[in-house]
Amino acid sequence: MVEMRIHKVEGIKSFSRLDFPLPPHFVFGSSTSSYQVEGAAFEDGRTPSIWDTHAHSGYTNGANGDIGCDGYHKYKEDVHLMAETGLEAYRFSISWSRLIPNGTGAVNPKGLQFYNNLINELINHGMEPHVTLFHYDTPQILEDEYEGWLSKKAVTAFVAYADVCFREFGDRVLHWTTFNEPNVFAHYGYDFGILQPNRCSSPFGTNCTKGNSSTEPYIVAHNIILAHAATARLYSEKYKAVQHGFIGLDLYAYWYVPYTNSVEDVIATQRANDFFIGWFLNPLVYGDYPDIMKKNAGTRIPTFTKLESRLVKGSFDFLGVNHYSTIQVEDMSISLQMDVKDFTADMAVNLTLNDSNVPQGQLPLNPTGLRELLEYLKNYGNPPIYIYENGQSTIRNGTLHDIPRVQYIQSYIGSLLDAIRNGSNTRGYFIWSFLDVLELLDGYESGYGLYYVDLDDKNLKRYPKLSAKWYSDFLKGSSTSPDQEI
């Protein structure tokens, strides 16, 4: 028996699933996304997305999602595993280019059938489907035609795609997320150029063949916000009265803490929150960007018309949050003096992940960061929140005895309970990820999964890790405490 000391969480002695509200008021689940888990990239009418292009250009350590975990063919087996684990909900994304291969126009019957089958399988096993419409995967045909999200045409195309999803799946799906991590997508895909569609300009990014780091992140974010608002309005006017579902947007959110107690670092920490979270959340709550963003970016950040502001304000029923780490923030106001600036220079901070004592491939354990983040988000009117991603990365070496992942998950769930008892309106918690999937930055070098997938086995056999057993026991009522032994 291996003794495991769990990170102490303030205010939490021990807890179980019964300390949280029961479904449908609160759900525990796990997450994946289409390109990362489905495979079958060239089957049954699917066309490439910008993620296919990105992966085949060598950005993910030579790995790609052509086969992935073969979730396209193995969905029944996977849903059975989810049910055995005790999941109450499953969050997945729809591949736009599998459902509508040309980006607009005709629906692919095979793609439609797959998602109908998956949704039905989940419901038949007693799980809520939580569906994300966009997870870093613009159809490549739209990127080639008009540079994707740099064009207002993408707004129209996305709303039409969402309309198909609502029409075909909305009788069984209640929770819709329009965009996954649009703040990361705009920043890392159009400023640094290290994520799809790999656009940037010197000196802010390297190895990009086109792009403008000074303006494009702001343009893309603006168009995504307008697409989200238009989609929410479509749902409200056409579907909500019959389907009774909910629309949200999913943001990546660090918890930021000042590097020092200096006034400059404290102000810089708020500036980091305004740029990374407020970039999207301020328009959705207040109808406009944070003042500091408009001041620092000037004419490079688009403006909302009065009509757009009214449409955007209040255009969400819940907020999705993807949280993994706490980041130290140091003031870098000197960057505002640069002649040419990008989003990072406008933010004017230096960000540090304190991981000096963390084993390779793992994230630092700082569960109080989740509680503080949820406390901060109460300032936006305490919206309903689903934590759609939270989990621990480890080197993907086949080890099933993943104590660091158990420590991480238990600590963060404890911190979440503390936040709920403190008034947070959080409605769900989803572990990233259900399986070891193709990861956004490093392919198959690391894994976040509750289940290991043997890529060398022709059947891609799934193996439960210790974390899967722990989560299953927790979901089935076992009590857990900071001094638990495993």
For residue 436, give Cα distances in angstroms to 68, 94, 417.
Answer: 10, 19, 26
For residue 407, is pLDDT > 60?
A: yes
> 357: pLDDT confidence band, cut at 50, 70 and 90?
confident
- pLDDT at position 4, please? 36
Predicted local distance difference test score (pLDDT) of residue 358: 80
What is the reported pLDDT for 138? 98
Residue 354: per-residue pLDDT = 73
Residue 402 reports pLDDT greater than 60: yes
pLDDT of residue 9: 45
For residue 385 the two structure tokens come to 């929140």
Q: Residue 127 pLDDT > 80, yes or no?
A: yes
Please tell me the predicted confidence (pLDDT) of residue 206: 81
Find the mean pLDDT for residues 430-436: 98
pLDDT in tens, 304-351: 999 999 999 999 999 999 999 999 999 999 999 999 999 999 999 999
Average pLDDT of the residues in 402-416? 96
pLDDT the model gives residue 49: 98
So what's the pLDDT on residue 484? 59
- pLDDT tens readout for residues 51-88: 999 999 989 888 999 999 999 999 999 999 999 999 99
Categorize the per-residue pLDDT at 6 as very low, low, confident or very high, splitting at 50, 70 and 90.
Answer: very low
Residue 175 backbone dihedrals phi, psi, to 5 degrees: -115, 110
Question: What's the pLDDT band for 246 if we cut at 50, 70, 90?
Answer: very high
pLDDT above 70 for 1: no
Model confidence at 170: pLDDT above 60: yes
Q: How many H helices and E strands in the chain?
A: 18, 15
Q: Which of 438, 445, 255 is nearest to 362 (CA)?
A: 445
Give the whole-angstrom CA distance, residue 21 versus residue 427.
Answer: 8
Q: Is pLDDT of 2 > 50?
A: no
Asked if residue 390 has pLDDT above 60, the reply is: yes
pLDDT category at 397 given cuts 50, 70, 90 is confident
Pairing of strands 326-331, 394-395: unpaired
Average per-residue pLDDT for the chain: 94
Q: Look at residue 481 in the predicted model and tell me its pLDDT.
A: 64
Out of 127-131, 229-233, 350-354, 471-475, pick the least confident. Answer: 350-354
Burial class (CB in 10 A: 0-12, 13-18, 19+), 219: buried
Quote the pLDDT of residue 365.
92
- In tens, the pLDDT along 262-277 reads 999 999 999 999 999 9
Residue 6 DSSP code: P
Give the DSSP letter of residue 45: T
pLDDT of residue 12: 54
The average pLDDT across 208-223 equals 97
DSSP 437-458: --BTTTBTSEE--SEEE-TTST
Residue 398's pLDDT band, with cuts at 50, 70 and 90, is confident
Confidence of residue 8 (pLDDT cuts 50, 70, 90): very low
* pLDDT band of 359, cuts 50, 70, 90: confident
The per-residue pLDDT for 30 is 98
Cβ(219)–Cβ(150) below 8 Å: yes
Instruction: Give the Cα separation of 343 and 205 in Å (integer).
Output: 12
Task: List the beta bridge partners of residue 389.
Answer: 322
Closest C-alpha to 92, from 60, 114, 67, 63: 114
- Catalytic sites, residue numbers: 181, 389
Mean pLDDT score, 101-118: 98
Pairing of strands 326-331, 349-352: antiparallel
